[in-house]
Structure 1
């Protein structure tokens, strides 16, 4: 069995590695931000659905990679995709599975000419870091679908990657799933970080629910105009279900607290760009404004906001 290469040793990558290792599958974690990190074995505390998986994990810097024939999982933040696609294109001959939320995350890999690209939509909650360890829980099996490739090869990827702790499922209409989750994330990843509260806000506060409905309505109106069949009530039901069952900090809030770049460009701001490119343009004023506030807060936190 060819090893699975997981690019990105963060809140998605490390729990995925731990679940694969616990299932007895060969896996190598690739440190995307540490070019020349030597091959080493590390033990990171990982708790998956209240089960401790403190297993030794093999890692290596991305600059030390050679030819890769097995599955490659992209588990970094989406803003790294363009650089990763250029870097991996000469090395990878097998399938690439993108485990990220947002719209357009697969575009750099398509443009770089990868022959097999599959993308997921993640329904997980995870927090932590390499020093403190990670707490991870799958909310429901995360769908994975074909961008370029075949259904048969998708099933082979799922066989290699699916575990009880990090469950996956095949999805025929992955773009509809991506739009659904993106609109939902436009609520959580903008409102909660700006108010610096956890995900339970919308199940507790009527004003927050009203704001969530306005964001969802903007996104659904845009999706419907593009022929993507999503409904406001169905998405609001999912927003409230997620909110009622989660008290964790959303990933964007974690990024802001650690002065890391967020993925808001692939959420609120991507929806705004898509709407602006239509003829006539579609405006998403609340979605875009909240997204721009997150982007500014991120730049200020990282010292790149510029002078006022």
Structure 2
């Protein structure tokens, strides 16, 4: 199958690599440095057991989605609408689009732009970019797709590519559960610039995370969202299951990029305000990350 990855960052490159390994015709759409490296040497996939260069196509332009039967949208939440507008003219009429993004409302925001259903997809993977054209896999990799006419078929295709995938009637709840996990870990990892294992040993850190989770659950309840599973237990377990992983927010700040914090802790703050639920810890973490995003600007003006 011809597959396009809109947003060839760590998540997009990992799933693109796995699909390419399974024999699919994959095109990655990303930044110029990554595209140049991939064109020259292929996409390097580094895991605990392999270093493998994979032949994939790569381009910087949205025309890369042309002719694709499946498009994985993996851009940052801040770029969702712009990415949708860019690729809309090039999409095949019958192309299936999956949103593999942080946050809970990206598929909803993409649908009117693309004028078609978009399948919300929850991503559980630890990845990072080791350099241009070099993706590192640190753990997990499973996907949970929302229901839809093509969801079962897409889950089957992904599973055949060694990407564990299932369809859930409560994908919204699963998206919220992932959001809560991100709210608990991302901002703190970014502020401290520490991986999860070291971060969890900081004085008072686990209590702060527990308070973040409590606020998020209160907002979810006020919004009528059912959170599946034991989200508190999942948050705690990440310290040992992904001890060396830096959050995506930490990686963004380390590279001087704008993060997705407005769609993580910031989203909880906004939804809490709308529902009359106080979220002081999420508000504080959101404010601190926003200050760090503007650190260079603030320093220049000092």
TM-score relative to the length of structure 2: 0.88
**CA–CA distance in 2 between the matches of 1:229 and 1:66?**
35
Higher share in helix: 2
Check if 1:82 corresponds to 2:81.
yes
Map of 1:271 onto structure 2: 268
Deviation, 1:63, is 4.7
Rounded to whole Å, the distance in 1 between the matches of 2:120 and 2:246 is 24
What's 2:245 paired with?
248
Task: Report the Cα distance in structure 1 between the residues aligned to 2:181 and 2:300, rounded to whole angstroms.
Answer: 31
Residue by residue over 1:34-66, the C-alpha shift from the partner in whole angstroms, topping out at 9 and shown as x without a partner, is: 5xx799464132113432231122112325447
Corresponding residue for residue 59 of structure 1: 58
- Deviation of the 1:71 alpha carbon: 0.8
CA contact (8 A) 1:192 1:250 kept: yes
* Superposed CA offset, 1:274-307 (max 9, x none): 11122xx222111011012112211224x38885
CA distance in 2, matches of 1:229, 1:112: 28
Whether contact under 8 Å (2:63, 2:87) holds in the other structure is no
Question: In the aligned structure 1, how far is the partner of 2:194 from the partner of 2:287?
Answer: 19
- Which residue pairs with 2:194 in the alignment? 197
**Secondary structure, counterpart of 2:69 in structure 1:** coil
2:19–2:161 contact (8 Å) kept in structure 1: no
Q: CA deviation at 1:202?
A: 5.8
Work out the CA distance in 2 between the residues paired with 1:63 and 1:209: 42
What secondary structure, in the 3-state scheme, does the structure 2 residue paired with 1:29 have? strand
1:16 pairs with 2:15: yes
Change (3 A) 1:169 1:63: closer
Maintained 8 Å contact 1:19/1:163? no
Residues 202 and 240, structure 1, Cα contact 8 Å, conserved in 2: no
Distance 1:114 1:49 in 2: 41
Partner Cα distance (1:197, 1:208) in 2: 12
Q: CA 1:43–1:69 in 2, change beyond 3 Å: closer, same or farther?
A: closer
* 1:294 corresponds to 2:293: no
Structure 1 CA distance for aligned equivalents of residues 51 and 207 of structure 2: 39
Superposition deviation, residue 154 in structure 1: 0.8
The normalised TM-score by structure 1 is: 0.87
Q: Deviations over 1:125-164 (max 9, x none)?
A: 0112442722114425221114xxx2x4111222333355
- The aligned residue for residue 70 of structure 2 is 71
- C-alpha separation between the residues in 2 aligned to 1:63 and 1:285? 40
Q: d(CA) in 1 for partners of 2:203 and 2:87?
A: 47
Any idea what SS the aligned residue of 2:27 has?
Answer: strand
Mapping of residues 1-308 of structure 1, within 5 Å: 1=1, 3-31=2-30, 33-34=31-32, 40=39, 42-65=41-64, 67-92=66-91, 93=93, 94-131=95-132, 133-139=134-140, 141-146=142-147, 150=148, 152-163=149-160, 165-201=162-198, 203-205=200-202, 207-230=204-227, 234-246=230-242, 247-278=244-275, 281-301=276-296, 303=297, 307=301
In the alignment, structure 2 segments of 5+ residues that lack a partner are none
Distance 1:305 1:143, change over 3 A: farther
From the superposition, tell whether residues 66 and 29 of structure 1 become closer, same or farther in structure 2 (CA, over 3 Å). Answer: closer
How far apart are 1:120 and its partner, in Å?
A: 1.3
Distance apart, 1:111 and its partner CA: 2.5
